[in-house]
């Protein structure tokens, strides 16, 4: 696609898609991060109906997790659903989750990172990062890399390849790395700077964070060995009615409310995109390596990401993420050194 006009965005929203194809997930473990509401919950229901060996969902606290488990069980009839606590605004919580998963779960075949926030308000996590950057990007990279060894190990005992799906968005078409960010010693530090974020940066922060998600997926896929069994892709669910914008401005929420009467997809409709990214194109899986998936197909990401400058920024930001998270977790650095090329 390369570019996305507002008219094309509207046309995309009006497309219709068939229900997810039923696949045999027996014996497979599926993890959906951010499954207590919206498209994550609907995706988890779809996976549950395919009778996996185990379905694991995450929530910020045990009570919310249990509600999610009960909802999925009641609406699908599938009983083997489990919840784990995960607070994505805390690197310590992410690391603890990954450690427990590695010790207690024998395999991981399908992993969907759906969690994210959208806010114009600058807020710092306990780790000193602007909340959108940490939840949407840094914690995503940290958890994904810490779970990577378990996914590769699972591939040894499965005829199908494991899938890692990161939920991105078509709004990445409307984001770039600007000259001020690029001129700083570290792009991430500039994006995290409070004074910088008091300007227009927070107005485009969600777009920027989704661009980073696409960058991470593309760069991770590029640095994995070409014969790696792991398929990593990112997916655009489309503009869906959800709680994503609950922390957004009043104007944004008002516009979103009005759009619900015309073009907004339901969470269930958006969840079909996640399921396709996790299970679709099984006959040509290599086409999904590092792919941007939208509307049940592989599409080109933005012109910026396809440009020479975009490729340079992508590599630089990925290296900055590695540098940042290597200080957070020695296991993260060990995974990078063992499984990724420079």
For 275-338, the DSSP string reads HHHHHS-GGGGGGGTTEEEESSSEE--BHHHHSHHHHHHHHHHHHHHHHHHHTT-HHHHHHHHH
pLDDT tens for 198-222 read 878 999 999 999 999 999 999 999 9
Q: Which of 334, 266, 273 is nearest to 98 (CA)?
A: 334
Tokens for 133, please give them.
């950057």
- Alpha-carbon dihedral 3, 163, 105, 334, rounded to 10 degrees: -70
DSSP letter at 201?
A: G
User: Residue 257: its pLDDT value, please?
Assistant: 55
Domains of the chain: 6-339 (3.40.50.720)
pLDDT tens for 130-184 read 999 999 999 999 999 999 999 999 999 988 899 999 999 999 999 999 999 999 9
Q: Write down the pTM of the prediction.
A: 0.91
- Alpha-carbon dihedral 215, 239, 24, 65, rounded to 10 degrees: 90
- Asked if the model's pLDDT at residue 243 lies above 60, the reply is no
Percent of the chain past pLDDT 90, that is, above it, reads 78
């Amino acid at each position: 696609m390369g570019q996305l006009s507002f008219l094309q965005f509207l046309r995309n929203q009006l497309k219709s898609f068939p229900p997810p194809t039923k696949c045999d997930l027996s014996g497979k473990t599926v993890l959906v991060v951010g499954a207590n509401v919206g498209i994550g919950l609907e995706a988890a229901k779809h996976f549950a109906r395919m009778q996996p060996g185990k379905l694991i969902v995450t929530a910020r606290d045990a009570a919310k997790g249990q509600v999610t488990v009960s909802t999925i069980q009641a609406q699908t009839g599938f009983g083997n659903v489990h919840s784990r606590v995960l607070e994505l605004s805390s690197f310590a919580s992410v690391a603890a989750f990954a450690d427990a998963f590695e010790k207690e779960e024998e395999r991981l075949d399908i992993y969907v990172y759906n969690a994210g926030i959208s806010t114009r308000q600058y807020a710092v996590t306990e780790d000193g990062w602007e909340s959108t950057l940490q939840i949407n990007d840094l914690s995503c990279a940290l958890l994904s890399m810490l779970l990577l060894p378990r996914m590769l190990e699972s591939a040894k005992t499965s005829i199908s390849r494991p899938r890692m799906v990161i939920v991105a968005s078509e709004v990445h078409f409307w984001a770039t790395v600007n000259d001020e960010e690029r001129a700083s010693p570290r792009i991430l530090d500039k994006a995290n700077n409070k004074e910088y974020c008091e300007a227009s940066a927070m107005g485009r922060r969600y777009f920027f964070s989704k661009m980073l998600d696409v960058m991470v997926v593309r760069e991770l896929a590029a640095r994995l060995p070409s014969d790696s069994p792991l398929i990593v892709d990112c997916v655009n669910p489309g503009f869906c009615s959800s709680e994503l914008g609950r922390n957004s401005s009043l104007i944004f929420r008002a516009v979103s409310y009005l759009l619900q009467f015309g073009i907004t997809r339901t969470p269930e409709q958006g969840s079909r995109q996640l399921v396709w990214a996790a299970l679709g194109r099984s006959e040509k899986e290599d086409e999904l390596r590092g792919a941007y998936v939208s509307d049940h197909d592989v599409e080109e990401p933005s012109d910026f990401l396809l440009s020479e400058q975009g490729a340079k920024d992508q590599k630089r930001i990925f290296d900055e993420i590695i540098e940042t998270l290597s200080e957070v977790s020695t296991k993260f650095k060990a995974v990078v050194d063992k499984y990724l090329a420079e």
